[in-house]
Amino acid sequence: MILLNFKTKIKMLNTIVIAALLVFGSCSSKTDSPATPDSPVVSQDPVQYGTPFTGVADARDAVIYQVNMRVFSTGRNFQGVIARLDSIKNLGVSVIYLMPIYPVGTLKSVNSPYCVKDYTAVNTEFGTLTDLRALIDGAHSRGMSVILDWVANHTAWDNAWTSTPSWYLQDASGNIQSPSGWTDVAQLNFKNTDMRKAMIKAMKYWVYTANCDGFRCDYADGPPADFWKQAIDTLRNISTHKLLMLAESDNSTLFSAGFNYTFGFDFYGQMKTVFSSNQSVTNFDNLNTSEYAVAGESNMVVRYITNHDVNSSDGTPLDLFGGNSGSMAAFVVAAYMKGVPMIYNGQEVGTTYRLTFPFTGTTINWSSNTAMTSEYKKIIAFRNSSTAIRRGTVVSYSNSNVCAFTKTSGTETVLVICNLRKTASDISLPVALTGSTWKDAFSGDTVRLNPTQTIQPYSYLVLKN
């Protein structure tokens, strides 16, 4: 959802829960019926368009690329994305995540892409269903998956569903309510079985009709976990598709609902405080424990240094993380330490200006910083080539200024050292590493480790055995 940080979302969630308890305690609709969260939805499915993509990445190996159609090209449409599919592929991306593709409501609207007027239609500002299919086909032909942004918590006020008020949260007078803080949208009622079935049917529609490969689920803390389990169980019953499911939530219990990924709100927040408030880099070690406390072997946290929300509200990576060099060091930690990296369009060319909500202003200049693009390619290419980086076990040697760790898988070990300060910093290495010989992962040069390594400002060193 737009322009809300994690703390605001939690506050909003508490408000919604309290409101729901009050409403349903005094005025539950006669048309509501008990939900059956462990029962997949069975319905007549659309005819499958195209051939289901068999190259969907293992969840642990993905590199995710977020596309905001409104800023991506001067045409602000699917065709603008299609024209750059080779560039996205060459960056090393395996999963493209498209921001909402659906028509935007106009009643009480602020023109947010997350104000959905019709769950089974394409927003004409972006093109047609044929254009969307061409984009997904083009990604598939290049070995990339495509996931769609899904907004389950609420709809536009002029969504046809509002003609059935029982599908929405209502006050004591029967008026449909907004989620706290978002007056442009109407809050859905997840106690209504029919609404849940219609929502899941709409999700299935895109798997069949556009051949998409999963969903990034907006504000996943809004709908109850049992709805997500019902939805994901139903989607995974589509045996012809391997689907990736990303929850925009840091609630690791959603892994048990079937999500492959949660969202690294805390990682982003911690990175900000490391740079802005000089907090200790060792705090990342705590996150590596807490974010994966109940994760399964293949579940991952998506880590990022920007996205559509924070780029608009907080600033660009260059603003927040020490310019070009500092933002690259921050990205190395996001991409290599423990998680799956996500890149927001324009990040790879060092876009110096914010892409601000509702994203109808300046578009991206794709030639603005080709040197940075090359550096992103280099970092991602090594991640894609290294099982240790993608799936290995982390051992941290970080201190207050330097993020240092090894990743090991089988006989492969990688040592990563990133200075997240604007001055040179030292890192003391354990005896087991002192005097050992490594190869620079990027240059191939031989590097012999000293007991104390001095790392230049915002520099990083990646070594392999």
How many separate domains does the chain show? 2
Q: What end-to-end distance do the CA atoms of the chain give, in Å?
A: 43
Lowest mean per-residue pLDDT among 20-34, 42-56, 317-331: 20-34
How many Cα atoms within 13 Å fall on the side-chain side of residue 352? 5
pLDDT at 18: 35
Picking from 334, 363, 392, the residue at the C-terminal end of a domain is 392
> What is the pLDDT confidence band of residue 8, given thresholds at 50, 70 and 90?
very low
Share of the chain above pLDDT 70, in %: 91
Confidence of residue 463 (pLDDT cuts 50, 70, 90): very high
335 and 424 co-located in one domain? no
Note the pLDDT tens digit of each residue in 302-318. 999 999 999 999 999 99
Assign residue 106 the CATH number of its domain. 3.20.20.80
The last residue of a domain, from among 348, 365, 392: 392
Residue 171 lies in a domain: no
Residues 306 and 344: beta-carbon distance below 8 Å: yes
308/409 same-domain check: no
Q: Positive or negative, the Cα torsion across 72, 212, 99, 142?
A: negative
* pLDDT reported for residue 38: 52
Q: Is the pLDDT of residue 42 over 70?
A: no
Instruction: Say whether pLDDT at 13 is over 50.
Output: no
For 52-77, what is each residue's pLDDT tens digit? 999 999 999 999 999 999 999 999 99
Q: Which residue has the tokens 């007078």?
A: 173
pLDDT of residue 153: 98
Query: Does 229 share its domain with 355?
Result: yes
Q: What DSSP character marks residue 76?
A: -
Same domain, 459 and 362: no
Q: Which amino acid is at 126?
A: F
- Residue 30 forms part of a structural domain: no
Tell me: the pLDDT tens digits for 224-237? 999 999 999 999 99
Task: Say yes or no to pLDDT of 29 above 80.
Answer: no
Does residue 223 sit in the same domain as residue 87?
A: yes
Structural domain contains residue 359: yes
| Mean per-residue pLDDT, 47-53 | 97
Looking at the structure, do residues 311 and 414 belong to the same domain, yes or no? no
One domain for residues 301 and 431: no
277 Cβ contact list (under 8 Å, min separation 6): none
Chain segment 429-443, per-residue pLDDT in tens: 999 999 999 999 999
The whole-number pLDDT of residue 1 equals 53
Assess if residue 374 is contained within a domain: yes
CB 104 within 8 A of CB 114: no
Residue 220 pLDDT greater than 60, yes or no:
yes
Q: Are residues 277 and 410 in the same domain?
A: no
The pLDDT, as a whole number, for residue 6 is: 39
Burial class (CB in 10 A: 0-12, 13-18, 19+), 367: exposed
pLDDT number for residue 295: 85
Helix (H, G, I), strand (E, B) or coil at 199: helix
In this prediction, residue 59 carries a pLDDT of: 97
Beta-bridge mates of residue 234: none
Please give the pLDDT value at position 14.
42
Q: Using one digit for the tens of pLDDT, what is the confidence trace for 373-384?
A: 999 999 999 999
Whether the predicted pLDDT of 12 surpasses 70: no
Under a CB-based contact definition with an 8 Å cutoff, are residues 345 and 72 in contact?
yes
Per-residue confidence (pLDDT) for residue 17, from 0 to 100: 37
Position 21 pLDDT exceeds 50: no
Question: What pLDDT does 145 receive?
Answer: 98
Q: What is the pLDDT of residue 244?
A: 98
Check whether residue 60 and residue 100 sit in a common domain: yes
Distance CA 327, CA 404 (A): 17
**What integer best gives the mean pLDDT of the chain?**
92
Q: What is the pLDDT of residue 296?
A: 81
- Residue 334 CB-density burial (10 A; 0-12 exposed, 13-18 middle, 19+ buried): buried
Which structural domain range is residue 405 located in? 396-464
Does the structure show a pLDDT above 70 at 7? no
265 and 216: one domain? yes
pLDDT tens across 149-161, in order? 999 999 999 999 9
Asked, for residue 186, whether it belongs to a domain, the answer is no
**Same domain for 201 and 302:** yes
What is the average pLDDT across 234-243? 97
Residue 250 lies in a domain: yes
CATH number of the domain where residue 456 is located: 2.60.40.1180
Residue 32, in any domain of the structure? no
Residue 119 domain flag: yes
Same domain membership, residue 196 and residue 117: yes
Instruction: Tell me the pLDDT tens digit for each residue of 245-304.
Output: 999 999 999 999 999 999 999 999 999 999 999 999 999 999 999 999 888 889 999 999
Domain C-terminal end among 392, 421, 440? 392
CA dihedral (18, 22, 24, 25) in degrees, to 10, reads 130
